[in-house]
A and B are shown apart, each in its own frame.
Chain A
Amino acid sequence: MKNIIEIKNLVKKYDNFTLGGLSLDIPSGCIIGLIGENGAGKTTLIKCLLNIIKKDQGEIKIFGKSNYLNDDIGVVLDNMFFPEILKPYEIGKIMQGIYQNWDTELFNNYLKEFELPTNKPIKELSKGMRKKLEIATALSHHPKLLILDEPTSGLDPVVRSEVLDLFLEFIQDEDKSIILSTHITSDLEHIADKIIFIDEGKIVLNEMRDDIIDDYGILKCSKEEFKNIKKEDIVRYKQNKYNYEVLVKNKKEIKKKYKKMVIDNITLEELMVLMIKGEA
């Protein structure tokens, strides 16, 4: 697999936050899910990728080039970014004058598919409709890479699944990739090939989704049972009112080791919470 994004030692410093020394290779043909709590650095990373903010150190290459911003990248940012006085059909006309590969027919099809009014100011559209308009715009210039910051936030479950299906359809072509950040980790359980977990500006996990689901488990036990678990088997643990939740890796081996204890499969959400809130 070719790498579509290569990041070496990326550093971005703020007064009270540092995105520190990130190195990352993102292969083409897959969906990368970026997770982490608010303020963890997901948006900072995406903004660095898109040259919205300037990196302090490091190197970013997309499609093998350092100067990469072109038609091949489709973008959705976390906040609304179209001037709200504009109307969807005007957005189409504007983008026609910006992207060489702009496909008016495709854009109009998306507007129809998403049931978006073409002649209504954006300020009168619901949050979900605006998001759909942004996604339609990002897809309508035939990009090879989609960089999406919270593309599903504000969407109801029905629309969300529509949008996720669109992403899956997009990725059918091996040359294409998506990198998306989200709070809604359950979305990623359906579509992401790889999960990158960022906490306090650092990558704490960078693994294939299937490996995470296969490897990690959550062991729930009493205080006495907890005392019997070897320290090296604990990735993180959290003490609840009545029990302990222990994050374990190599689930199958752990199962053999502690036969009496129950080890459940883990969701990305549980993993995230334990990684952040749990003790090591």
Chain B
Amino acid sequence: MLGFIKKDLFIIKNNLKFIGLIFIVYLLMAFTNKMDVTFLLPFLSVVLMISTFSYDDFNNWNAYAVTMPKGRANIVKAKYLSTLILLVISTIIVTIISILVSLVNKKPINYSELLLMMSVTMYTTALVLVIMYPIIFKFGVEKGRIAIFILIFGIAILGGLFIDYINLSSVVKLLDKYWQIIIPVTGIGLIYISYIISKRIVMKKEY
């Protein structure tokens, strides 16, 4: 399985020069306080992970990968693990940059706020992933895009229909009070469910 993770990381490494420019712009914006950019890097890691799916699809890697020892199970396991690795790395980078920005601008560093920011960023990024991965495993990146669009559109419509029936302020209060528990528990739970669904899809899929 380690090999599959290496494959994703090599693809990302070889792709890095393409996001080098984005990274420079990001740094400029961060240090000049033009924008709060904490979210950008973890999201970029999602984009990079999706690019690994694109290469897998484009060159039919999975047809080959399933012929390897425990290939099908490892394809999925490795994809989730490389994502986690990338997410953790990018969150650490963002944290360091945020601290540096505060130091350069001689602002006091609010560590609890920073922790909250990082948690929320990682959580939303993970949410994007858990929704996208099973769809991409099922349909591939190209068709998956359409499916994801339909899904998000559907959620938006449903949300619009039911928003009046939900007491938003109580939800916010609950989140505000218990986010230290809610975020990790639901985060890990959702990732696990997504992983199980993806695995089921890949175990049955024909390449």
A residues contacting B by CB (< 8 A) are: 47, 50-54, 69-71, 73, 75, 77, 79-87, 90, 93-100, 121, 147
Contacts of B1 in A (CB 8 A): 97-98
User: Which residues of chain B from 1 to 21 have a CB within 8 Å of any chain A CB?
Assistant: 1-7, 10-11, 14-15
Measured between alpha carbons, how far is A86 from B74 in the docked complex, in Å?
A: 19
Beta-carbon contact of A77 and B69 below 8 Å: no
* List of A residues within 8 angstroms of B5 by Cβ: 97
In the complex the two chains form, what is the Cα distance from A84 to B10 in whole Å?
11
Partner of A97, one of B4, B60, B72: B4
User: With a CB–CB cut-off of 8 A, which chain A residues contact B112?
Assistant: none
Query: A53, A69, A84, A95: which contacts B207 (Cβ < 8 A)?
Result: A53
Indicate whether B64 reaches chain A with its CB closer than 8 angstroms. Answer: yes
Q: How far is the CB of A194 from chain B (nearest CB, A)?
A: 23
Q: Is the CB of B59 within 8 A of A84?
A: yes
Q: Are B68 and A69 in contact (CB under 8 A)?
A: yes
Cβ 8 A contact of A77, one of B11, B63, B68, B204: B63
A97 to B74, CA, bound (A): 11
**Given that A54-B206, A69-B69, A77-B64 are known contacts, is A83 also in contact with B56, CB under 8 Å in the complex?**
yes
Are A52 and B206 in contact, CB atoms less than 8 angstroms apart?
yes
If A86-B10, A121-B14 touch, whether A97 touches B3 (CB-CB below 8 Å) is: yes
List, sorted by A's number, 16 A–B pairs whose CB atoms are closer than 8 Å. A50-B67, A53-B207, A69-B70, A75-B64, A75-B67, A79-B60, A81-B59, A81-B60, A83-B58, A84-B58, A85-B55, A86-B10, A86-B14, A90-B10, A94-B6, A98-B1
**A77-B64, A83-B7 given; 6 more Cβ-contact pairs under 8 Å:** A75-B64, A80-B60, A93-B10, A94-B7, A97-B1, A99-B68
Contact of B11 among A69, A85, A96 (CB under 8 A): A85
Least CB distance from A201 to B in Å reads 17
A218 to chain B, nearest CB (A): 39
The interface residues of chain A lying within 8 Å CB-to-CB of B6 are 90, 93-94, 97
Assess whether B66 is interfacial by the CB under 8 Å rule.
Answer: yes
Using CB atoms, name the residue of chain B closest to A98. Answer: B3
- Bound CA–CA A82/B59 (angstroms): 6
Question: What is the minimal beta-carbon distance from A180 to any residue of chain B, in angstroms?
Answer: 15
Q: A79-B60, A82-B61, A98-B68 are in contact. Are A52 and B55 (CB under 8 A)?
A: no
Minimum distance in angstroms from B53 CB to a CB of chain A: 10
B140: Cβ under 8 A from any A Cβ: no
Q: In the complex, how many angstroms separate the beta carbon of B158 from the nearest chain A beta carbon?
A: 35
Residue of B nearest to A53 (CB): B206
Contacts of A71 in B (CB 8 A): 69
Which residues from 63 to 95 on chain B have a C-beta closer than 8 Å to any C-beta of chain A? 63-64, 66-72, 74
By a CB distance below 8 angstroms, the chain B residues around A121 are 14
Q: Are B64 and A98 in contact (CB under 8 A)?
A: no
Q: Specify which chain A residues have a CB less than 8 angstroms from the CB of B74 in the assembled complex.
A: 98
**Contact of B4 with A52 in the complex, beta carbons under 8 Å:** no
A contact residues around B52 at 8 Å (CB): 83
Give the residue of A77, A86, A90, A97 whose beta carbon is less than 8 angstroms from that of B2: A97
Contact yes or no, B61 A81, CB < 8 A: yes
Closest B-chain residue to A121, C-beta based? B14
B3-A95 in contact (CB<8A)? yes
Q: Chain A residues with Cβ under 8 A from B7's Cβ?
A: 83, 86, 90, 94
Is the Cβ of B55 less than 8 Å from the Cβ of A94?
A: no
Cα–Cα distance between A94 and B67 once the two chains are bound (Å) = 15
Chain A minimum-CB-distance residue to B13: A90
**Chain A residues in 8 Å Cβ range of B59:** 80-84
A149 shortest CB reach to chain B, Å: 10
Complex Cα spacing A77 to B63, Å: 8
- By beta carbon, the residue of chain B nearest A137 is B64
B44 to chain A, nearest CB (A): 17
| Bound-complex Cα distance A90 to B3 (A) | 10
Closest CB-CB distance, A82 to chain B, in whole Å? 6
Residue pair B55, A51 in contact (C-beta under 8 Å):
no
Q: How far is the CA of A71 from the CA of B58 in the complex (A)?
A: 26
Asked if A94 contacts B3 (CB within 8 A), the reply is: yes
Contact B60 A77 (CB under 8 A): yes
Which chain A residue shows the least CB distance to B69?
A70
Q: CB-CB contacts of B13-36 with A at 8 A, as 1s and 0s? A: 011000000000000000000000
A80: which B residues are within 8 A, CB to CB?
59-60
Residue of B nearest to A49 (CB): B67
Which residues of A are found within 8 Å of B63, using beta-carbon distances?
Answer: 47, 52, 77, 79, 81
Tell whether, in the assembled complex, residue B3 and residue A96 are in contact, meaning their CB atoms are under 8 Å apart: yes
